[in-house]
Amino acid sequence: MNRRPPRRFPCSTTPYVPILIPHRSNPVLKSTRNMLWLLAMLFCNWLFIRTGTSSTVSTRPDFVKIGAILSFNSSIGKVAKVALETAVEDVNSNPAVLNGTKLSLTMQDTKLSSGFLGIVEALRFMENDTVAIIGPQHSVMAHVISHIANELQVPLLSFAATDPTLNSLQFPYFVRTTQSDLFQMAAVVDIVGYYEWRDVIAIYVDDDHGRNGVVALGDKLADNRCKISYKAPLNPKLSREDITKTLVKVALMESRVIVLHIYATWGLEVLDAAWDMGMMGSGYVWIATDWLSTVLDTESSLPSSAMDRMQGVLTLRMHTPDSELKRKFVSGWSKLTAAKSDNGLFGLNSYGLYAYDTVMLLAQALDAFLNQRENISFSNDPSLSEFRGGNLHIDNMSIFDEGNHLLNSILQVNITGVTGQIKFTSNGNLMHPAYEVINVVGKGMRTIGYWSNSSGRLSVVPPEKLNIKTNSDHLYGVIWPGQTTQKPRGWVFSSNGRQLRVGVPNLVSFREFVFRVGNSDIFHGYCIEVFLAAVELLPYALPYKFIPFGDGHSNPVKTDLLYKITTDDFDAVVGDITITTNRTKIVDFTQPYVESGLVVVAPVQKLNSSVWAFLRPFTVMMWCVTGIFFLVVGAVIWILERRSNDVFQGHPRKQFVTTVWFSFSTLFFAHREKVESTLGRFVLIIWLSAVLILNSSYTASLTSILTVEKLSSPIKGIESLITSNDPIGYQHGTFVENYLTEEYNIQKNRLVSLNSEEEYEKALKDGPKNGGVAAIVDMRAYMELFLSTRCEFSIVGQEFTKLGWGFAFPRDSPLAVDLSTAILKLSENGDLQKIHDKWLAGKACSSEGTKEDVDRLPLKSFWGLFLLCGSTFLLALLLYIIKLVIQYVRLSRRSSPTDNNSRPVPSFFKFMVEKEEDVHDHHHDIEEEGKSGSKRRY
């Protein structure tokens, strides 16, 4: 390979003092004095060479070449040109920045974003040993030049290319020294969400800058469950005619929230055309990306007519925190433009601040780079040798040998500039991106708030002063297009003047919900009146017309009606439409206005005539446990009273009868047996309290059973229907058929389609044996209406789904949200209940159901009461046994086992069954015998 040796920047060489050797014919050699002088000269030369070589092998270069590519006549370019020149002067005038090395800046004009000229200028820089390029200004150009930078290893620092995709791994030598559009679009999305809009229209220039920015916008909107409803691309070389054609299409769209992501060159032209078309009036929302704030910051001489045509527009500006450096730079801007610009005076925009900091960043990185490697070398790219000899001299372009080291130094910079902290994240973006939200009002702009990526929310407080504990978003008031302060709705109907086509099922049953008046398009009923009341609460007029769906002879299939929305035959569906999972996949529903699940209705019979009705207040287990406790309390009282109470003594049969009689007589508080012991009375008090509670509960339950009509059915609910093989009825056109077959695996041949209340009644009366059905499965709302005049049927079992009715609209329709809000208002103010009472209340029969065990009292209801009684019985018995043990021990001590004349102490069990008076007599005899024996011994 014909690779030329590395070229190095000129460096100052080590000072060299030549060694003077006298000519051999010089007579001074013969003199000792002259010889000493010669040796001294040789030693000084050797010492000078040694010390000089060891300390100054090489030094920094005197200057370093950098380039800049921008459009001198653009709003960004002319500001950046002045800022770059000023920054270079500040660096070169301060030796502490680069320790004596100076920057040599060469700027090239790309003539208003000409991509071809930008490429040519970049190639020219590569011929001149340039270590870094500042720019390009435009994202489209940055994509192309980044490939060149990758090949030649020259860092490319752009202060204005905001395309998010430039941060990809494809362009390692591209360094963005400004904010990415990824964050700007996040701010736009948060503004859209703050004002509760869901759809936006994106107008953008159809190049890398516009397309990639809009892709980022769409992704962020999707994260917030919003979307771009229409994309309107513009040719990068557009004309006024192209703008007008695009805006005509936008005006026909439903959304009125427009995001304008375009170059400043054409941005004002788009807003001017929108004004001429009436699209800057009330109802519209225009959100311009930061191109508009850049123009307004820079061009102070815009005509008043141009300002009048952009009133109410929202725009963004990159936020740079206030600091002493920034104030000093801003205050001297007028002098700088007067001295360095041929375009007259103009303002300073955010890109000018980032351009200034780009030079400062590069200088800091170069200083760190030169501290580590003082040599800067370039070498020819061997892959370009095949182009040698051409007129373009492409083979003269050089590779920056240390380019990757300089790139690393750039990415590690951490300084404070006029834009604040300059530091890069791991993905190549600047730290702490933030934007100002601006409203164009009057002759200028007004900041209404801030957005920062670190907090992820909107605030009226600058990000550097924001308290992170504050969670709520907030912006100052906005003057919207049309000079109104009322927040625009954000959408209109897509076709001007067209009424909303509302599909309504033409029902033949349950007409209280929906019914058609003759053959007209007039409908009445509960569902219709709820819809009309909700429409009245909307903050705007909603033109609509009802369109019947169905032949009028059988109920229409509701799913087919909903599919008419997807085919654009209807704009909405109003009626008794159940909200199900499958249906929500094709349409959007409003908030439910009826809560109604599926129930089972079956024939029932009365239970009042049963001769055993008096046993139904308690369950079987409750009766058994209660009886056992009656016997237990008798046994406990017998144990506690037998030794001291004559009533519970005598023949065993007598004792048994007395105990049983005493137990059950406590049920009526009619016991005549006197309880004498303290423990017995304690037990009896607790038990009589429990009996009182049981009596009261039994009486209340029996009263309910005998006074309220109870019904019975062999079908107990959906579970018994599933296990049987009986036919099941359902309403034709509803989702019930698919639900029963898919969720409960009921065979379709068991399902019978019915159309009207009369068919319901006939099928239930006929029953399965006569061609009818065993039960009907339908929504509770229908069944309550059906049962209101048919008391021989009733709901059996529990409601086994939780569903509701709602109005249907196309997916992502804003009308669904607005009507949901209106339905909630109807519910809160009581109007929804009034409409319900008007159409559905005041009927004859009740549909409480046939749950036979509802009024029967189970054991678990009295578990605590029985536990209390049982614990009392056990405690009394325990205390009684302790008392007996104490008495037995005392008796044992008084008896003398050595005395042959004394009677032995009886066993404990014999002691327990003895009467208390016999025990006392026994004690007395022992004491008397003890006294007699003492006298005889004496």
CATH topology classification for 181-321+433-465? Rossmann fold (3.40.50)
Q: How far apart are CA 876 and CA 636, in angstroms?
A: 8
Q: Mean pLDDT over all residues of the chain?
A: 82
**Counting Cβ atoms within 10 Å, is residue 692 exposed (0-12), middle (13-18) or buried (19+)?**
exposed
What's the pLDDT at 48? 37
Range in 194-203, 375-384, 510-519, 748-757 with the lowest mean pLDDT: 375-384
3-state secondary structure of 752: strand
Name the DSSP letter for residue 673.
Answer: P
What's the pLDDT at 931? 55
70 vs 54: which has the higher pLDDT: 70
E strand segments, 868-913: none
Q: How far apart are CA 199 and CA 411, in angstroms?
A: 39
- Checking if the pLDDT of 45 tops 70, the result is no
Q: What is the mean pLDDT of residues 481-510?
A: 85
Nearest one of 284, 276, 849, 193 to 473, comparing CA atoms: 193
Taken as a whole, the chain contains a residue count of 938
- Checking if the pLDDT of 290 tops 70, the result is yes
Q: What is the pLDDT of residues 551-594, one digit of tens each?
A: 888 889 999 999 999 999 999 999 999 999 999 999 999 999 99
What's the pLDDT at 380? 76
Share of the chain above pLDDT 90, in %: 44
Is it true that domain 500-595+805-840 has CATH number 3.40.190.10? yes
Q: How far apart are CA 355 and CA 361, in angstroms?
A: 10
Is it true that domain 63-179+323-423 has CATH number 3.40.50.2300? yes
What's the pLDDT at 361? 96
Q: How far apart are CA 819 and CA 822, in angstroms?
A: 5
Q: What is the pLDDT of residues 713-746, one digit of tens each?
A: 778 888 888 888 899 999 998 899 999 999 889 9
Q: Which of 230-239, 280-289, 608-617 is most confident?
A: 280-289
Residue 576 dihedral angles phi and psi, to the nearest 5°? -85, 70
Tell me how far the alpha carbon of residue 13 is from its chain's centroid: 67
- Checking if the pLDDT of 362 tops 80, the result is yes
Q: What is the pLDDT of residues 114-149, one digit of tens each?
A: 566 666 766 676 667 789 999 888 898 899 889 888
**Dihedral sign of CA atoms 228, 232, 237, 238 in order:** negative
CA dist 93 → 101, 355, 757 (Å): 10, 18, 97
Q: What is the pLDDT of residues 743-773, one digit of tens each?
A: 889 999 999 999 888 999 999 999 998 999 9
- Checking if the pLDDT of 285 tops 90, the result is yes
Provide DSSP, 395-453: GG-EEETTHHHHHHHHHT-EEEETTEEEEB-TTSPBSS-EEEEEEEETTEEEEEEEEET
CATH topology classification for 711-801? D-Maltodextrin-Binding Protein; domain 2 (3.40.190)
Do residues 488 and 480 touch, judged by C-beta distance below 8 A? yes
Banded model confidence at residue 806, pLDDT cuts 50, 70, 90: very high
Maximum Cα interatomic distance, the chain, rounded to a whole number of Å: 171
88 vs 904: which has the higher pLDDT: 88
Banded model confidence at residue 458, pLDDT cuts 50, 70, 90: very high
Q: What is the pLDDT of residues 187-219, one digit of tens each?
A: 999 999 999 898 999 999 999 999 999 999 999
Banded model confidence at residue 499, pLDDT cuts 50, 70, 90: confident
Banded model confidence at residue 920, pLDDT cuts 50, 70, 90: low
Task: Say which residue the tokens 């019914």 belong to.
Answer: 515
Q: What is the pLDDT of residues 653-706, one digit of tens each?
A: 877 887 788 777 877 776 667 777 888 788 888 888 888 888 888 888 877 776
- Checking if the pLDDT of 395 tops 60, the result is no
Q: pTM score, two decimals?
A: 0.67
- Checking if the pLDDT of 608 tops 90, the result is no
